Chains A and B, each alone.
Chain A
Amino acid sequence: MVMTICGFIFSPLIAIIMGLLMLGVTRKVMARIHWRYGPPLLQPVIDIIKLFYQKAPSHGSLFDFGVILSLTGSIVVLLFLPIGRLAPLSPAGGLLAITYLMLVAPLGIALSGGEGANPNISIGISRKLILSFGYEVSLVLGILAVMTRYGTISIVKVVEVQQTGGWSLFSWPLVVAGIAYLLILPAILGVRPFDVVSAPQEISSGPNVEYGGKYLGLSTISHALSEFISIGLFVNLFLGGWGLWGAISPFQEGGLGVFLGVMIFLAKIFLVYMAGLLISAVLPRLRVDQAVRYLLKWPSFLAFVGLVLAWAL
């Protein structure tokens, strides 16, 4: 009971802090790769606070509502996604509910942008939908492989199974689906070479082009959260969630165990994110059709093989 209430409060907080921190790290790391000094680590937080005090134009009520809907969607997903052992709403729906709830955040941005009536937004959204179709094939196959292998549709159970049976990514036959997931992860995150959606130099940040002030602030938070959620899902499904080869089992009960679990989970997210960042920093942008062609080729093939293996073995 206490844990549920803690989860309701802390899950979104942890995710927002971590997500914004990841954005800050991105800018710093990118700058260092470019041989620049780069902004301070907390620059995204400073920006958001500043943005809330800035006046920004609105294009109508759906323009406002969409941004709020997007962030609401992200936060609701966080209540379902196990962050360490905090998953306050997980009894209300499993992995299938999460995959569906993850649609709400992009839908909100798309609706809000739609009323923005700027073709850059429409192009961005159309690219986003095309790109997500590309990676969603592998994503669905990967999630199905995990669910079929472990015979459950509850994400909490998937994490629990991995504490005794080893991480999915390092266990046969889920490793195949796991590699496919790793290959599409940059596309899910929307980092290079898959940053076709925002593509600042081509379509002026795409869906974000009409946002200023608090709109930009909220959509930045929403963006940070969706990065957190995408990697968080991967960590939970394939990297054993809060587990570290039994390292925290002595502290399992009580507050310390929960705290350590969250920390391990965040560390894993950070490592995966950094790996993706370092790869993406040196790659140029693909065109959207090239990106989809890539996504529908090797990752989909691997993910399909992964599902066949998980089903047959």
Chain B
Amino acid sequence: MLETILIVAFSGAIVSYILGKVSSRMRNYLSVLVWLSLVGLTSYIYFSTPARKVFYPDFLGFDLALRINYFSWLFAITITVIATLCVVFSFNYIKGRERTDFYYLTILLVNASMLGIVVSGDLLTFYVFWEIMSWSAFLLISYNRGAALAAGLRYIVMSIIGSGAMLVGVTSLYSNFGTLALEELPDQLATSSSLYLLFIFLLFFLAFGIKNAILPFHTWLPPAHSEAPAPFSAILSGMLIKMGTYGIILLFYVISGIKLFLGLSQGVWSFHYILCGLAAVTIVVPTFIAVLQDDAKKLLAWSTIGQAGYIILGISFGTSLSMAGGIFHFFNHAIFKSLLFLAIGAVEYRTSTRDLNSLGGLIKKMPVAFLATLVGIGGLIGIPLTNGFFSKWLIYKSLILDGQPFLAFAALIGTWGAILYSYKLLHNVFLGQLPEKYDGIKKAPLTMQLPLGILSLGVLIFGILPGLPLNPINKITTSLGFDPLNLSIWGTVSDTGTVNTLNIFLAFVVVAGILWYVFRSGAKSPEIAQEDSYAAGAPIPEDKYNYTVDFYNPLERMMKPFLRDLIDDFYSWIVEATNQLSNMIRKTYSGYVGTYVMYIVALLAALILVQLGWKIW
């Protein structure tokens, strides 16, 4: 069953490429069919988890295997669903561009390799799929050429550093323990010294941290997310960076185990608290950088870094509440962030811009995209009745009750930053006055509306009934060694704090119903055009009545000096310094024979001097 999934996924990518040469319509149908069947297969496999399948026995002394458990199943099902929706979204988005076959090949390959990552049963298979994913993602990020090529280059350089570190880690594990199978490593690592454990942690954390864009490894993400084609931005932000999350959970809680991870400390420095601190910085700083962005996708990209911080915070804090919150937030973020990227993609498709300063008032023209964005930012902020509420609530609660109010403060203030930038996104694209040049904008095509609708429903359903995903998540955290949570379909019960989202929902419905009735019974209100608004008696200037530029000007002026991306500056400085150094070295090759003869003579002279002075030989 497991190998069937991978075979279908990979062959689907190649066959659709070949089919694309014949008919693009057939290729589109096939790619959706493949991923729909993968959704079916993955859902079906839930009933036979956990499962393990050796596909190459006794390779270098251990079995190469595929395995699935609840932990990898949750990732697998999210990958397949998001991939299907993004492929559907691609139909119109990519139509008419050049190299569409290539686009479909790579986008299917990325998703197939992600499936491969989560079902690998040993670190070697894991590494192979990891590399396929990294490289095909590079091809997709740089699909648009131009600025996208530079963004792709940034991504791949950091990605190579990460996979290089991982390769060192994998070889070190193999040479020490003679095995890379995920089942056998925990017993082996339990016997090793804490210094070696730290060494392995750091190597793998470099790889996974770069993918997950934890500060200070985040610099590849903003350009990559904003330059990639929109459906792939959704996959990139929704799933691909979560492979880092998967790896981190795999490393800390599967390979080494909860006791080793939480116990790794030196004096007052505890490894997991340092990680928590890093995650808190990852929440706060990128969130406020996002507030300064004027490019819709760049804003979302910075927001992705911040939200990934919540996931890492939940995971590395290491209580059963925070762990469930972290995994749940991964799941929620995959839904609402893909939704937001797709919605902005639809706007970009119709208006061919994503500049927040020039858009506005599109709510009347693109109502579905507006509703999708509204629901998406609801989840992003974590407003009750959207899915982000409960996952963030779990993390906050755990932090507060376990005596870490400062981490909780970072998380809560990150949410305030999220409110600032998400309202800016919503307002500057969809609200305010509609500029005249967008008068003729049409609705997004059906293939775009469909994914938006499905994802929005997901945000709302998992917000009102968080128990649906939380029950499998509870199984995961229990299997990783945490205490089970007391859950029900509408939330959680405990004596330290209960949440009942269903009650909140009912309260909202009843109150809104009563108010709607009151509202309806008031005097009727005729609908008027947008130009027909109050301007203190002055005539309304055409096309200049939209307030979007510098939306948070007073705040931006205040924050800007503190919010420079110093890490990016530092990396750029390294690049610049390396360039200059290489240039200097290059100048020694002057092309004159005389110069080279001079080098030889100088070297000889130096040798003679050394010999005269110290008599080494």
B contact residues around A107 at 8 Å (CB)? 383, 423
What's the nearest-Cβ distance from chain A to residue B466, in Å?
12
B18 at the interface (CB under 8 A from A): no
B contact residues around A100 at 8 Å (CB)? 382-384, 389, 393
Contact with B along A217-256 (1 / 0, CB 8 A): 1100000000000000000000000000000000000000
A29 at the interface (CB under 8 A from B): no
Q: Which residue of B lies closest to A95 (CB)?
A: B497
What's the nearest-Cβ distance from chain A to residue B391, in Å?
12
**Inter-chain residue pair count (beta carbon < 8 A):** 214
8 Å CB contacts to A: which residues of B513-535?
A: 515-516, 519, 521-528, 530, 532-535
A21 at the interface (CB under 8 A from B): no
The answer to whether A292 touches B419 (Cβ under 8 A) is: no
A130 at the interface (CB under 8 A from B): yes
CA distance A272 to B203 in the complex (A): 57
The answer to whether B498 touches A58 (Cβ under 8 A) is: no
8 Å CB contacts to A: which residues of B484-502?
A: 496-500
Do A147 and B504 form a contact, CB below 8 Å, given A114-B430, A214-B522? no
CA distance A6 to B384 in the complex (A): 25
A54 at the interface (CB under 8 A from B): yes
CA distance A148 to B532 in the complex (A): 52
Do A117 and B507 form a contact, CB below 8 Å, given A111-B431, A133-B555? no
The answer to whether B393 touches A96 (Cβ under 8 A) is: yes
A contact residues around B397 at 8 Å (CB)? 96, 153
Q: Which residue of A lies closest to B500 (CB)?
A: A92
B contact residues around A267 at 8 Å (CB)? none
B536 at the interface (CB under 8 A from A): yes
Contact of A58 among B393, B400, B527, B534 (CB under 8 A): B527
* Size bin of chain B's contact surface: 35 or more
The answer to whether A147 touches B400 (Cβ under 8 A) is: yes
The answer to whether A62 touches B525 (Cβ under 8 A) is: no
Contact of B554 among A104, A130, A147, A152 (CB under 8 A): A130
CA distance A92 to B396 in the complex (A): 16
Q: Which residue of B lies closest to A94 (CB)?
A: B497
B54 at the interface (CB under 8 A from A): no
B173 at the interface (CB under 8 A from A): no
Contact of A57 among B519, B525, B557 (CB under 8 A): B525
A contact residues around B180 at 8 Å (CB)? none
B contact residues around A57 at 8 Å (CB)? 525-528, 532
CA distance A64 to B518 in the complex (A): 12
B contact residues around A72 at 8 Å (CB)? 508, 511-512, 515
A52 at the interface (CB under 8 A from B): yes
Contact of A116 among B364, B396, B408, B533 (CB under 8 A): B533
Do A55 and B497 form a contact, CB below 8 Å, given A122-B427, A125-B427, A144-B400? no
What's the nearest-Cβ distance from chain B to residue A132, in Å?
8
What's the nearest-Cβ distance from chain B to residue A4, in Å?
11
B258 at the interface (CB under 8 A from A): no
Contact of B533 among A79, A117, A154 (CB under 8 A): A117
CA distance A217 to B497 in the complex (A): 36
Please tell me which stretch of B216-224, B249-257, B338-346, B545-553 contacts chain A, meaning at least 4 of its Cβ atoms lie within 8 angstroms of it.
Answer: B545-553
Q: Which residue of B lies closest to A57 (CB)?
A: B528
Contact of B497 among A58, A89, A145, A154 (CB under 8 A): A154
8 Å CB contacts to B: which residues of A122-147?
A: 122-123, 125-126, 129-130, 132-133, 136-137, 140-141, 144-145, 147
B150 at the interface (CB under 8 A from A): no
Do A213 and B557 form a contact, CB below 8 Å, given A57-B527, A110-B423? no
Contact of A213 among B420, B496, B512, B525 (CB under 8 A): B525
CA distance A103 to B392 in the complex (A): 15
The answer to whether A58 touches B499 (Cβ under 8 A) is: no
B363 at the interface (CB under 8 A from A): yes
The answer to whether A153 touches B427 (Cβ under 8 A) is: no
B5 at the interface (CB under 8 A from A): no
CA distance A137 to B417 in the complex (A): 11
Contact of B431 among A64, A114, A144, A204 (CB under 8 A): A114
CA distance A69 to B546 in the complex (A): 24
The answer to whether A292 touches B558 (Cβ under 8 A) is: yes
A23 at the interface (CB under 8 A from B): no
B405 at the interface (CB under 8 A from A): yes
8 Å CB contacts to B: which residues of A29-83?
A: 52-60, 62, 64, 67-69, 71-72, 75-76, 79
Q: Which residue of A lies closest to B529 (CB)?
A: A59
CA distance A151 to B406 in the complex (A): 14
What's the nearest-Cβ distance from chain B to residue A259, in Å?
24
The answer to whether B527 touches A92 (Cβ under 8 A) is: no
A165 at the interface (CB under 8 A from B): no
8 Å CB contacts to A: which residues of B536-581?
A: 536, 545-548, 551-552, 554-555, 557-558
The answer to whether B558 touches A118 (Cβ under 8 A) is: no
The answer to whether A144 touches B534 (Cβ under 8 A) is: no
B contact residues around A58 at 8 Å (CB)? 525-528
B contact residues around A117 at 8 Å (CB)? 361, 431-434, 530, 533, 545
A contact residues around B512 at 8 Å (CB)? 68-69, 72
CA distance A311 to B441 in the complex (A): 55
B413 at the interface (CB under 8 A from A): yes
B409 at the interface (CB under 8 A from A): yes
B157 at the interface (CB under 8 A from A): no
CA distance A26 to B543 in the complex (A): 40
A contact residues around B353 at 8 Å (CB)? none
The answer to whether B522 touches A89 (Cβ under 8 A) is: no
Contact of A89 among B393, B507, B515, B516 (CB under 8 A): B507
The answer to whether B534 touches A210 (Cβ under 8 A) is: yes
8 Å CB contacts to B: which residues of A95-111?
A: 96-97, 99-101, 103-104, 107, 110-111
A contact residues around B530 at 8 Å (CB)? 59, 117
Q: Which residue of B lies closest to A303 (CB)?
A: B409
B contact residues around A153 at 8 Å (CB)? 396-397, 400-401, 496-497
The answer to whether B384 touches A101 (Cβ under 8 A) is: yes
Contact with B along A278-313 (1 / 0, CB 8 A): 000000000111001100000000000001001100
B369 at the interface (CB under 8 A from A): no
A115 at the interface (CB under 8 A from B): yes
The answer to whether A144 touches B405 (Cβ under 8 A) is: yes
The answer to whether B534 touches A209 (Cβ under 8 A) is: yes
B contact residues around A99 at 8 Å (CB)? 412
Contact of A217 among B389, B522, B524 (CB under 8 A): B522
What's the nearest-Cβ distance from chain B to residue A76, in Å?
5
B contact residues around A293 at 8 Å (CB)? 558
What's the nearest-Cβ distance from chain A to residue B103, in Å?
35
B381 at the interface (CB under 8 A from A): yes
What's the nearest-Cβ distance from chain B to residue A19, in Å?
15
What's the nearest-Cβ distance from chain A to residue B555, in Å?
5
Do A55 and B525 form a contact, CB below 8 Å, given A92-B504, A100-B382? yes
The answer to whether B519 touches A144 (Cβ under 8 A) is: no
B123 at the interface (CB under 8 A from A): no
Contact of A119 among B433, B519, B523 (CB under 8 A): B433
A contact residues around B172 at 8 Å (CB)? none
The answer to whether A151 touches B500 (Cβ under 8 A) is: no
A contact residues around B528 at 8 Å (CB)? 57-59
B403 at the interface (CB under 8 A from A): yes
The answer to whether A204 touches B534 (Cβ under 8 A) is: yes
What's the nearest-Cβ distance from chain A to residue B161, in Å?
36
B611 at the interface (CB under 8 A from A): no
B contact residues around A52 at 8 Å (CB)? 521-523
Contact with A along B5-36 (1 / 0, CB 8 A): 00000000000000000000000000000000
- 3 closest Cβ contacts across the A-B interface? A114-B431, A214-B522, A122-B547
A-B CB contact pairs (8 Å), 5 listed = A54-B523, A62-B363, A118-B534, A144-B408, A287-B554
A76-B504, A93-B498, A153-B397 are known; give 17 further A-B pairs, CB within 8 A: A56-B523, A59-B533, A69-B512, A72-B512, A72-B515, A97-B499, A100-B382, A101-B384, A107-B383, A107-B423, A110-B423, A114-B427, A130-B554, A130-B555, A288-B554, A289-B557, A307-B405
